[in-house]
Chain A
């Protein structure tokens, strides 16, 4: 018997380590979530009285409501534009051989290595220089640049995994290139396109650093509104809006997983 428990020790230890890591990952979210239910007007953990009033306040706060609206507009536009541009470039990179192909790929993926701070500052200077008002267009353009690499990668990987013989078979059956694209390529790429778009949308909606530079009072997105709020107040409505944020994103992801899971089943093939 003692031998048995000795053998179990490494497994127990392993389970503890994994548990600790998982706990550590979730810790910030848990702390914030609990802080949101504080009955008093301070951000503390754990709270000693409980209330929902900060949720009410956060939802009613005009800056947050405007930030949410602005964020949705920017996210919707930026992720769609990035999806179209990214998918087009992914096609070019996957299907064609040309000089400077590597360079093009490097440039397209470069926002990954350039700090958001730098991108935001760059757009700010540009907008000022060109005399462009800091409206939605600048914010959206900035977000497109930031999320493009993710869309590009996602669609590119899906394209790489797409068996070209589906397209060849369609062509052999008399389908024109446009028809092949519409009836074979795009439907089979759908999971990659959706996950790329989703990635872009979440990144754009959460983007803060660059947005801080390029938004104005009228166009500020939710993270910027939250930052401006926390600079002046330190009550738990910050935590409440964070919880709403997490729940909304998680819901979106869950829906997407169900949908994407379905998409993957649809495109399962490649028996060999």
Chain B
């Protein structure tokens, strides 16, 4: 999964090519032969826990760090040995890194002045960029006079105004509060689509990754563990790490019934579940396997369907749009099983202590040995 098919060296559909990138910090291997092809206009997310190498990879694309081995190409041109300022990138930083001694307009125009663009043209492009991020009228403010969200917009305008070949975003929303974050995410996605700018986005927030990305590269310990669409990564995780890092998941005790080619059938109580057979290579029929089931893929049985196990409601967590039920079911798992029930009725229907029958709301899942 970590090595996509080679589309050829001059393929115009690839905006950023990373081939066999390796980076050590002393004894620590930060990146291990990472290859990644980012398509033109795509929003590619590097997702992983802190220390997984995602920021190191971004810094290598930016040219802040040099890889020990491997090649980088931006827009079909090899840039491995090119310094940052000649890579024609745009980047935003976690703390925005707005120049404190310059006004908003000077910040946004900085890249154009560095490129020796005509003064009259600079004024027009700065105004357009500020209009794009809805900051018109704040040209003369200093960064410290702006709110976090406004600073974020200035940083974005500053990076976009130079028409970069690739936009690099380093945890852009981590400093914003929750409400603002959601709004900024939607806005970023709109702007990114409108300008059709290739974007590499680094985050450790899996819900952010799922909602924003065209594709996600899930990283851990210096490797890409899975590369795929948000749905791929969420519905068809390649391994245990991806399954448990992206979204909430229940790990349930199940039994392998049979394998037929690319799929396999797993039995959980009275239910039969189809899973990809790849991760179960080497398991014989009858073997115990771990079935990974999302909280929304479990439900309380109505007497009609195949019950997988019974359990006792141990806790209810009201979440507004849905209710999380924590159910003790020793048959299924040693820890509590999490169910996500839409609406609020679960609160009154299944109070704490109720004995419930659990059923699956899906016929597909993934299982690992």
Contact = CB atoms under 8 A, between A and B. Distances in A.
Interface of A: 163, 165-166, 168-177, 179-180, 183-184, 187-188, 266-272
B162 A174 contact: yes
Contacts, number: 82
B88 interface: yes
Contact of B95 (A165, A172, A175): A165
A272 B93 contact: no
Given A174-B111, A174-B115, A169 B144 contact: no
5 contacts: A170-B114, A173-B110, A173-B158, A183-B110, A271-B148
Contacts of B101: 187-188, 266-267
Interface in B78-118: 83-91, 93, 95, 97-101, 110-111, 114-115
Nearest to B62: A172
A99 to B, nearest CB: 17
A174 B88 contact: yes
A165 B114 contact: no
B64 interface: yes
Contacts of A183: 110
Contacts of A184: 99
Contact of B100 (A171, A174, A267): A267
Nearest to A163: B97
A175 B175 CA distance: 26
B100 A266 contact: yes
B74 to A, nearest CB: 13
Given A171-B84, A173-B111, A165 B97 contact: yes
B143 interface: yes
Nearest to B90: A172
B197 to A, nearest CB: 14
B84 A272 contact: no
B93 A168 contact: yes
A187 B101 CA distance: 8
B143 A170 contact: no
Closest 7 CB pairs of A and B: A173-B111, A269-B100, A165-B97, A169-B97, A172-B91, A171-B84, A175-B114
Contacts of A174: 85-86, 88, 111, 114-115, 162
Given A171-B83, A174-B85, A269 B144 contact: yes
A261 to B, nearest CB: 15
Nearest to B142: A266
A166 B97 contact: yes
